[in-house]
Each structure stands twice: as structure tokens, then as C-alpha cells.
Amino acid sequence: MKDSVAEALSHPHAVPPAQLAQALATDLETGLRAEEIAERQRQWGVNQVESQKPKSVLVLILHQFTSPITYLLLAAAALSFLFREWLDGSAILMVTLINAAIGFFMEYNAGKSMEALRKMALVPAKVMRGGRLQEISSENLVPGDVLYLESGDMVSADARLFLTAQLEINESALTGESLPTPKQTETLPAGLALAERSNMVYKGSFVSKGNARALVTSTGMHTELGQIANLVQQAEQAATPLEKKLETFSHKLIKVTLVLCGIVMGAGLLQHRPWVESLTTAIALAVAAIPEGLSIVVTLALAQGMLRMARHKVIVKKLSAVETLGGTNIICTDKTGTLTKNEIEVDSIIVPGAETSVKVDALHTRLEISSTPNHLENSLNFEHLLRCCTLCNTASYHILNGEEKEVGDPVEVGLLKLAHSAGQQADKIRGEYLKLAEESFTSETKIMGTLHLKDGKGIIYAKGALEQLLARCTHQLVDGQPVLLTWADRENWQNKEERVANEGLKILAFAYKETSNTKDLLLEELVFLGLVGLLDPPREDVRQALEECRSAGISVKMITGDHPATARNIAERVGIVEPGQAVQVVLGTQMPDYDQLTQWQKKDWLNASIFARVSPRQKLDLVTLLQENQLVVGMTGDGVNDAPALKKADIGIAMGIRGTQVAQEAADMILQDDAFPSIVVALRQGRIVFDNIRKFVVFMLSCNLSELLVVTLISLLGWSFQLLPIQILFINLVTDVLPALALGASPGHPAIMQHQPRPMAEPILQNTHWVALIVYAVVIAGCVLGAVFFSQWLVAQGQIKEEGYANNILFLTLILCQLWHVFNMGSAQGNFFKNEVFTNAYIWYALLLSLAILGTVYLVPPVAQALALLPLSVPQMAVMAGFSLLSFFLIYLIRKLRLIL
């Protein structure tokens, strides 16, 4: 028995309802008995989507201390406390805690996708139980329940239809289909894709028209929605390129630091220094080598990028995603609601003697018609067709306070928009033409007809499928006159319909008849008017955005659950492929599971631009393949079916207006205006952020390396003075961080989107950057030590009387060298006074603030004492200023001569 049930439920669309009901031990008329429900709930579980257990606060906190640099900082703090260097240890510990707090709050607000999925399921459901229709919580549905659905309902479980009345289901969130799907009850073949199972309804979809009864076949995690939820759980978000690069960078830095600490320790012991003193020097060296403020600067630079994007209606949920955008080299975009408006509009009109494309703008009452020989807009065919769109229609469309109000079937709303764009007022026309009778569209007749009365005369309007409507027509309207419809004419119209349908448009045929019979609606001997092609139109600004993506070296793939002809049509209109270009459309039925892919199939997937009838699992597989080929993948989408791929992609991009909550929770960023061009804005900002990060990493590392060289050389030379750890921390967290933050505020180069994306494997710093920063550090360290030498020489010459100031001159000259060094991060070519750094107002604010802080510490005795600062004379200050400016000019000259980057 269990085997037969499992077999039937594995493909319920291929099993007759009566046989399915027998397998589920239920009755299609009366439903389940009350006493059966508890047992079935024990067997099948509650009808809700399970959510992953969220990480505890403690786990999140501990996760913030897993960085290699954090380990080194904590070790340095511990050693400082061990040697009773309370101030140094506390300062190091404070830096570590600040970084951890920022990371904690970032992660605390992430990962809510499963909760959003669960909320979608908590709706009432109407079921037949014990022969009585009753309303229950959807959580209590079980397989075997008889579900009653009507317009406006959310479908609460996967179910097999067995009785329908003009039923249409909006499944776009699950399948990507633009149009509501007409449903029927006939048994279908077993191997059909989800979008083609017209006798099934699925959890999370909506009833847009009609009513039905259906037999529940799957609940909870066994539903299609539940399987998507499971995919979201499994689709782990890979570390972003920036996170990977910072991790690699950290390991390199730690290795260098440990080696140098070992050298300094060894040199101290060889010089017979106390090992405690040697260890203290090694701690100072570790503090000098590690850019403690780097995490804070990176975080704040990314946050500033987020704020810039927010001004362009792009909300980024995860800081590291900002930089990921800059490295993105491929975008997998959904079609419905992303490239298109997710609205059904008339795209083309074909009447006898004229064929034209139209552009509907109902909001501004504007209709653009391409030129035709017979001037369609002035023809009687067009007049009747517009009237038919309005009268043979049960939807409504109004504009109130500049906003569109739509009620009814999306196709019928699209027809009303055509009439409204042409200046027709639906309420006025419906008032003039009194409706006497109506014959509704059914899956059997596939025709809708209405009978109207005006000025004592009757007129019939009809619309529907071409084949069925042509069978009821005897004439066609040509140049305002009914002309006999021949067999050749009929074949010609069918050829036209096939051609337009192959372009991905939904086709409706129209007819009318004037009649003296105002009592009976007789849909016969009609006069054929023509065809209307409807389409979910592309967004007007998408083509330009895609061109910008191409100029930036970013390729675009369309991935949709829609019909392949529709997908290709939209791809041609927006410029993903050229019109008429021989491009393969990869169908979901041709996409095996990932572990079964051949090398040729993988190559086809990588080269293809259009994927149609694709399932959520296949979207996930495609993203996986692209990532394995070292591509940084951006994935856009708005439906539940997009959520797993959005989470798996390097950067998931959800729509803010039409996007489902599930998609928005799974994504890394949300487009508030649903505008694809906003992605280009985000890509530009991402590139700017990475470029700025690279600049301030070079700046901070060259500064830190100069400190490291100074500490190492003084130790090797055996001098009696040294930089103190607290002084190094002051430099790194105050005078380094502020200019670095200002570098992060650079608006970027105007031509940044004309460059190819960075290779995924490209590190933050390339060899040329390492060479440059080493040269910078050597020059700065040389000038700092030069200032000490020179001041000591002046003391020996009697020019300066003060002695014992070597530490202060070392400390302050180093600060000034690093402050002026920020100007070397701009372009060395061209006018120095017009480069992106010199003209950056934030740089000047940062320098003034750093100097103000430096001046303030002298005025606060406890702080000055902690930093071991002593009063300085004018000659000493002149030495420090002169040697610090010397370091700037030497580096500038080296860069100007193009000796280094």
C-alpha cells in the first residue's frame, strides 16, 4: 500500500484523480473523516516550511574571534598584561573588541530566509471534511484533504485538480511565468516540467481567476515550496572575494611578523639583553606590523559605499557584498519583473491589410503605433477592436491621483490599457453600450462573448483563441467592409498566429457582429477583426544598462522559468542577443543534475545566454558551475524560485517592489526601484570601493612597514631608545586611520566602468604594489632615522642643548611622514594639484583632525605622560618637519619618474 501511494505521489499530475484518491484513501466528494486527520498529521507532519535553527548569540560572538590577526592581537595583549604593561594591553584589547562588535552586529541581522518562507504558509485554507466545507489553518492540511480554491486565495499545499471553473493561477514566484496559468483536470505525461503541469496547483501560488477543487498530494517540506526551502538551507553562501583576499593577506602578514619577531628576539639575546626586554621589543614589533585599524577602515569604507548606493535606491544588506560587486564578471538575471515590467501589455496588432507593433502608455494616455500603409489608427477595424477590448472584458482599470488601479485578469487589464492609451474611457463606453448578455471564457469553448445594446441596435463582441473563433466567423472586416472569409484567408491567419506565437507573444483573436436579436447571444456568423499579441514588455532602461555591463566586461545570462520563445524575444529586445542571431536556448528538460553533467554540457552552459523552463535546482547548479570556473556571479531575481540561487551566488540581487520576502531575505542586496540600471550603479560603486581599499591598504601597510623597519633597525643597532607599543598603537589608530578613511571616500575615476573586471584570483596587492609599498616604507624609515641622527648631531655640535629626546623625535617625525604620505596615494601623472587625492576635501579634514589630536595630547598631562611626550623646542620641531617633508618629496619624485607604481 505504501509503495502504491509513494508511486502515485511521485508524479500526481500523471495519475487520474479517482485513482489518486483511492491511493490516498479519501473521497473526492466528502473528503477525509475527522478521525483520520490526527494519524495523517503524525505520518506526514505539520504543513509548514521548516526553518534552520538560528545561531545563538554566544556562537556569533565567538565567531568574531576566529581571525588569524585577532589571535595575534590577543596574544600581544596577553603578553602585555603578563609584563604588567596595563595601558598597552588594554589598548590592544580595545581594538580587538571594537572589530568584534562590528562583525557581530553585521551577522546578527542576517540569515532570515527560512523564517520568511514559513510566514508565507500561515494562511487559512478551505477544505471538505466529513462532507462539510470548513475553514482551517493551512498548517493542519494533510495529504488526502479536498481543498476548495477561489479567486484571491493563496494555495496552501500542492494538490491535484479534479474540478475547475475558469481557473487561472499566478505561479510567477515559483516558475517565472509572466502570465497566469490556465488550469484543467486532464491527466498529463509524467515527465513534464513544473510550469507545464496544468492539472496541478502548488503551495505559495495565488488564484487569479475562477475556482476549483483539488486533492492535496503534498504538504510541508514535501511540497515544491518546501523543496526550495531545503535548497535555501543547503545553498551555503561562499566567502566573498574580499573576505578570501583579506584572509590570505592576513596569513602572509602573520608569517612575516613572526619571522621578524624571531630575528629581533635572537638579536637581543645575542647582544646579552634581558629576555624580558627582548620580548617587549618583539611585542612592539608585532603591534607595528599589524594594521589594527585595517578592519575598521575596511568596514567603514564599505559602509560608505552602502550609503552611496542607498542614495541610488540600492540597499546592500552585507558590507562585504559591496566589494564583491566590483569584481562581478557575470550576471544571471531573471526575466519576469527584472528585465520586464511584470505587466501584460499589447505589443502588436494584426488586422486585414495591416500589421503593426504598438507601445502602450496608459498612464499618460499615449499610444505609439509604427507606420503602416493603411493607417491602422483611423480604420474601422481598430475602432471595433478597441471597443471589443473594453466591452468584452470583465476587468477594470482606472487612474486615481496619478496611480494605476487594476482589478481582474492581467490579460484583460492589458487590453483595457490599450483602449485607454488610445483615448477610450471604459466607463463611458460601457455606459453607452448596455450589456445584455455574456458568455464566459471556458477551457472547452476558449471564447468569451458579450451582447450589447446601443440606440436600439444590438452588437456582439467576442475574443478568444484564433482556431475556435475563426470557426464561428464567415467574414472579415477589410477597409471597413465585411468580406467573405475564404479557406485561404483562414490558413493565412493561422500562419500569422503561429509566426507571432513563435516570437513568444500570447495571441488573442477578435470578432464582432451587428444583430437585430437583442435577446440571445449567438456566437455565429461573426465578422473577424484581427489579432492582438500580448507580452510582458521589457523595461525601457534595461538595454542601456546591459550595454554598460558589456563595456565593463560583464556578461549577462537570462535564466527564466518562462517559455523559450518568450525568453528569446525579450533577450533580443533588451540586447542580450542580436535579433536573428543563431543562439541556443538551453531548456530545463535538457539540463541533467550537476553530478551527471558531461564536459560538453558544461561548455554549453557556460557559452549559452538564455536558459528557459529552468527549475530552482537547475538555477543553483548553473551558479555552482559558474563559480567553479572562477567567475564572480551576480544573480538577480524576485520570486521564491530564485531564492536558493540568490543565496548561493557571490552577490544575490533581489527586487524591492515586486520581489517576494523570501527572495529579499536570501539576497545580499535589494533594488528598491526594481530597476536593472541600478545594478550598474552598484557595480560602479563596488569597483570604486575596491580601488579605494587597495589605496588605503598600500598606505597603511607602507606606514606600518616603516614602523616595523624602525623598530627592527633600532633593535639590531642596540640603541638605548625605542618606540613604545602604546606609541605605535596611537599612530596606527589615530594618525593612520583618519587619512585612510579619507582615501576610502574617493569618488573614483570616471572611466572605471570601461575596465575589465578584476580576475577572481587577483589579490588585493599585486607584486607591483608590494614593491611600491616597500620602497615607501624604506624612504619613510630612512627619513625618520635621519631626523634622529641629525638631531643627535646638532646636540653634539651644541646647536641643540636638549638631550634624551630621541624617542619623541622618532615618534613625531614618523607621524608627520605618514600624514604627508597620504598625498602619494594619488595619481603621480598629470597635475598634482588636481589629482583625486589632493582635491578630496576629506583628506584635508583628516589631516587637520590628526594634527589637532596630536596637539591636544600635549595639553592633557595624563595622555602626554602615557605617550612619554616631552616639551619640544623650535629647532627640534623644524628638524621633524624638514625630514618628514623630505620623505614626501623623495617618494613623489620616484613615482613621477615612474620608477615604481
Question: Which of 607, 556, 616 has its CA nearest to residue 586?
Answer: 607
C-alpha 129/C-alpha 127 separation (Å) is 6
Catalytic choice (334, 409, 621, 674): 334
448 close to 439: Cβ distance less than 8 angstroms: yes
**Distance, CA of 419 to CA of 430 (rounded, Å):** 12
Write the CA distances from 495 to 500, 502, 512, 673, integer angstroms: 9, 11, 22, 40
- Whether residue 88 lies in the annotated active site: no
Please give, one letter per residue, the 3-state secondary structure of 473-538: EEEEEECCEEEECCHHHHHHHHHHHHHHHCCCCEEEEEEEEEECCCCCCCCCCEEEEEEEEEECCE
Per DSSP, which regions of 551-607 are E strands? 555-559, 585-587
Cell numbers found for residue 265: 628576539
Query: In whole angstroms, what is the distance from residue 474 CA to residue 485 CA?
Result: 6
Asked if 451 and 436 count as a contact pair (C-beta separation under 8 A), the reply is: yes
DSSP string, 430-443: HHHSEEEEEE---T
SS3 content of the chain, % helix, strand, coil (to 5): 50, 20, 30
Listed residue (541, 457, 543, 532) closest to 500, CA to CA: 532
The number of residues in the chain equals: 901
Q: Give the Cα-Cα-Cα angle 309, 310, 311 (nearest 5 degrees).
A: 90
Low-confidence ranges of the chain (pLDDT < 50): 1, 106, 109-121, 238
In contact, 44 and 220? CB cutoff 8 Å: yes
pLDDT of residue 273: 67
- Tens digit of each residue's pLDDT (9 = 90 or more) over 756-814: 887 766 777 788 888 998 899 999 999 999 998 888 887 776 666 555 688 889 999 99
Q: Are strands 366-369 and 354-361 parallel, antiparallel or unpaired?
A: antiparallel
Pick the CATH number of 241-305+684-749+760-896 from 1.20.1110.10, 1.10.1040.50, 3.10.20.600, 1.10.3710.10: 1.20.1110.10
Residue 268's alpha-carbon distances to 142, 281, 788, 844, in angstroms, are: 77, 9, 22, 41
Count of C-beta atoms within a 10 Å radius of residue 133: 11
How far is C-alpha 554 from the geometric centre of its chain's CA atoms?
15
- Identify the pLDDT of residue 206: 81
Question: Rg (Cα) of the chain, in Å, rounded?
Answer: 36
φ, ψ dihedrals at 437, nearest 5°: -155, 160
The CATH superfamily assigned to 348-535 is Calcium-transporting ATPase, cytoplasmic domain N (3.40.1110.10)
Pairing, β 158-170 against β 206-218: antiparallel
Residues with Cβ within 8 Å of residue 278, at least 6 apart in sequence = 264, 265, 267, 268, 269
Cβ distance 228 to 616 under 8 Å?
yes
Eight-state DSSP code of residue 154: B
Whether residue 293 contacts residue 737, with contact meaning beta carbons closer than 8 Å, is answered with: yes
Burial class (CB within 10 angstroms; exposed 0-12, middle 13-18, buried 19+) of 94: middle
Pairing type for strands 124-129 and 396-400 reads unpaired
Separation in Å, CA 888 to CA 736, 774, 782, 826, 883: 15, 15, 12, 13, 9
**Greatest CA span in the chain, whole angstroms?**
124
Q: What are phi and psi of 438, to 5 degrees?
A: -145, 140
Fold that domain 314-340+539-674 belongs to in CATH: Rossmann fold (3.40.50)
Sequence-separated (6 or more) residues with CB below 8 Å from residue 542: 339, 574, 676, 677
Cell numbers 600581544: residue: 76
**Phi/psi at 397 (nearest 5 deg)?**
-145, 125
Q: Which helix (H) or strand (E) holds 308?
A: helix 294-311
Answer whether 0.85 is exceeded by the pTM. Answer: no
Cell matching residue 567 = 525568453
The span from the CA of 224 to the CA of 271, in Å, is 74
pLDDT of residue 290: 66
**Cα angle 577-582-588, degrees, rounded to a multiple of 5:** 80
Kind and range of the H or E run holding 355: strand 354-361
Q: Alpha-carbon distance 389 to 370, whole Å?
A: 20
Confirm if 315 and 541 have CB atoms less than 8 A apart: no
Q: Hey, is 597 helix, strand or coil?
A: coil
Report the distance separating Cα 174 and Cα 195, nearest Å: 9
Beta bridge partners of 484: 475
- Report the topology of domain 2-51+116-232: 2.70.150
Q: At what angle do helices 677-717 and 241-270 cross, to 10 degrees?
A: 0
Half-sphere exposure (Cβ direction) of 818: Cα atoms closer than 13 Å:
34
Cell numbers at residue 305, please? Answer: 559605499
Residue 470 cell numbers, joined: 475563426
For residue 114, what pLDDT is reported?
36
pLDDT value of position 117: 38
Contact 172, 342 (CB under 8 A): yes
Q: 783 near 809, Cβ under 8 Å?
A: no
Whether the Cβ atoms of residue 102 and residue 120 lie closer than 8 Å to each other: no
Specify the residue for cell string 475527522. Answer: 34
- Quick one: which of 201, 218, 210, 193 has its CA closest to 143? 218
Which residues neighbour 35 within 8 Å (Cβ) at sequence distance 6 or greater?
Answer: none
- CA atoms within 13 Å, Cβ hemisphere of 364: 6
Contacts of 158 (CB under 8 A, 6+ apart): 12, 200, 201, 202, 203, 216, 217, 218, 219, 222, 223, 224
Enumerate the β-bridge partners of residue 462: 449, 511
In sequence order, which ranges of 222-379 are alpha helices (DSSP H)?
224-234, 241-270, 275-289, 294-311, 320-327
Here the cell at position 281 is 621589543
